[in-house]
Structure 1
């Protein structure tokens, strides 16, 4: 990363008001939380994941399956979310937080921001731990095993996207990948805690996670703004043009575990492929990606990324638009 043009502006961290993690010692889940324990007898009659957030259970080819098979599908969908979280937190977010925390990013960041990066690192390791813990508890009590599938395939694809888009700037690629993930608005963390039809332990765990992630969202927004002031015009264009593919990859659901779960539920291979095409393809996927990415797109717009040469076209090529223009 070079820093000659435009000149670096003094920013400080945070720019205004209290820092996003100032009360970490009093508020972070890893400091104050309790272990969430699953008790089947207290959860009978509830679902493990909201059916509204499992697109394929409403498909006509799936809806006719025996109720027990439908129930197992939602449990395995929860497993996919939980185990994917362990990969995301440790392989994407912490891979970006560590160089920032240890001052290996090449950005000459203030000590207060570096210490906040260490707080994020602690949080994310804890999120990975309790996600795996809950999946293991549910499997032990229900007898529905966590299948030995690759739940981190999407992380590998995102890492490969970073390497191909910014091959000579791994630290920049890693930070951008983490910014994308940590500023996305996920329906799961926002909607599940208030859904009383869902198993209480799942709701409590996702509520715990959402509280921490709200602080992380602000941290990564500030980190992105600090990063932006330290890039010259050429690197700003490179960073902005890398973002759309990262967003698209981050929000493209990992279909291999879904496919395997549908086959395990009794669908034949051609029918399973039809379900995947109907539920995850075409315009439906594009609309979902723009809706969930709105906060990330606004962050890009706030630093003027869309005004750089070729950037709007690069976003458009990935089915993403300027947030104000999409809203109008």
Structure 2
């Protein structure tokens, strides 16, 4: 997600002179200032997602499908993005943010940081609301039914990671997952608002989202330092080893869902597997993951989290550092 204003640096005592990224929230938050984004007549000739951000559209077997399926693929990608946003915000982020606001996460924070968590809670709930609103509008306009899994891939992966951990480490995994998700740099949030081929309502909604997430990014950079300061040496090692797995869980493509979608367009199983293998080959996925997570990895490195050889090796294993893997 896009970076926001730089937070205050920690003082010598290890505490923060917290400078809130939300000082102008009442005037600038999407929920405070922007209208409902509605599809208009100008959206009739637009696409619903940037083709450059949908790798499937570049594969020869996909391009050979019926021409009308090109717009359908872009529309399904928008549905997945909006559903991902809705479920991330409501099922994971806001659960953690509410814990931060109430003080139940076990980390000592400045009172102003806890108060700001309520603002994030409002933002994220609004992002979920306008994402579902937009999905409903697009479905009504196009007649294209969303092909969505009940449980998004990132949530399954997070649960699997947590289930493999001792019970006392599971809350830490969720705190780290939310922190990571809020500090990644999303190409969707950065690029779609500038793509004039995309429906204006979609561009405006994503622009609204991006502006809010810039403030969230700045907040969670500070939160990570407080989280780190609350952990002992063992806890820091556990957290550092978890981080690459959580980044991977968040960013890995849901190939099962994409395979089902391809088959629904008329591709046979072998062709669908070929598309997946060639579009989401290992090196392409690693390059995307590294580029998206570069700032997040820098934040962990600034905490000396990568100083242990075992931790550095784990980051290499998931392709998050240049060089060997």
**Following superposition of structure 1 onto structure 2, how do residues 55-134 of structure 1 map, counting pairs within 5 Å?**
55-134=55-134
1:12 aligns with 2:13: no
Q: 1:9 to 1:309 in 2, by over 3 A?
A: farther
1:143 aligns with 2:143: yes
Structure-1-length-normalised TM-score: 0.91
2:27 is matched with which residue? 26
Instruction: Indicate if the aligned counterparts of 2:101 and 2:118 stay in contact, CA closer than 8 A.
Output: yes
SS at match of 2:92: helix
Q: How far is 1:314 from its partner?
A: 1.3
Q: How far is 1:226 from its partner?
A: 1.0
> Considering only aligned residues, what root-mean-square deviation do their CA atoms show, in Å?
1.6
Q: How far is 1:162 from its partner?
A: 3.4
Deviation per CA, 1:203-247, whole angstroms, max 9, x where unpaired? 000000000000000011100011111211111111101001001
1:282 is matched with which residue? 282
What is the CA–CA distance in structure 2 between the aligned matches of 1:245 and 1:175, rounded to whole Å?
14
**Unaligned stretches of 5+ residues in structure 1:** 1-7
Q: How far is 1:12 from its partner?
A: 2.8
Instruction: Indicate if the aligned counterparts of 1:9 and 1:229 stay in contact, CA closer than 8 A.
Output: no
Instruction: Indicate if the aligned counterparts of 1:176 and 1:243 stay in contact, CA closer than 8 A.
Output: yes
1:223 is matched with which residue? 223
What is the CA–CA distance in structure 2 between the aligned matches of 1:240 and 1:148, rounded to whole Å?
33
What is the CA–CA distance in structure 1 between the aligned matches of 2:142 and 2:239, rounded to whole Å?
46
Q: How far is 1:151 from its partner?
A: 5.3
Q: Count how many residue pairs are aligned between Structure 1 and Structure 2.
A: 312
Q: How far is 1:45 from its partner?
A: 2.5
SS at match of 2:306: helix
2:8 is matched with which residue? none
Q: How far is 1:167 from its partner?
A: 3.2
Structure-2-length-normalised TM-score: 0.92
1:312 is matched with which residue? 312
Instruction: Indicate if the aligned counterparts of 1:13 and 1:19 stay in contact, CA closer than 8 A.
Output: no
2:190 is matched with which residue? 190
Q: How far is 1:308 from its partner?
A: 2.9
1:269 is matched with which residue? 269
Q: How far is 1:170 from its partner?
A: 3.1
What is the CA–CA distance in structure 2 between the aligned matches of 1:309 and 1:282, rounded to whole Å?
24
What is the CA–CA distance in structure 1 between the aligned matches of 2:17 and 2:75, rounded to whole Å?
42
What is the CA–CA distance in structure 2 between the aligned matches of 1:166 and 1:179, rounded to whole Å?
20
1:301 is matched with which residue? 301
SS at match of 2:107: coil
Q: 1:13 to 1:264 in 2, by over 3 A?
A: farther
Q: How far is 1:153 from its partner?
A: 2.8
What is the CA–CA distance in structure 1 between the aligned matches of 2:122 and 2:308, rounded to whole Å?
36
* Deviant stretches of 4+, over 3 Å: none
Q: How far is 1:296 from its partner?
A: 0.6
2:176 is matched with which residue? 176
What is the CA–CA distance in structure 1 between the aligned matches of 2:127 and 2:195, rounded to whole Å?
21
Q: 1:125 to 1:78 in 2, by over 3 A?
A: same
SS at match of 1:267: coil
What is the CA–CA distance in structure 2 between the aligned matches of 1:167 and 1:315, rounded to whole Å?
24
Instruction: Indicate if the aligned counterparts of 1:84 and 1:151 stay in contact, CA closer than 8 A.
Output: no
Deviation per CA, 1:123-157, whole angstroms, max 9, x where unpaired? 11110111011000010111111235335232121
What is the CA–CA distance in structure 2 between the aligned matches of 1:104 and 1:134, rounded to whole Å?
34
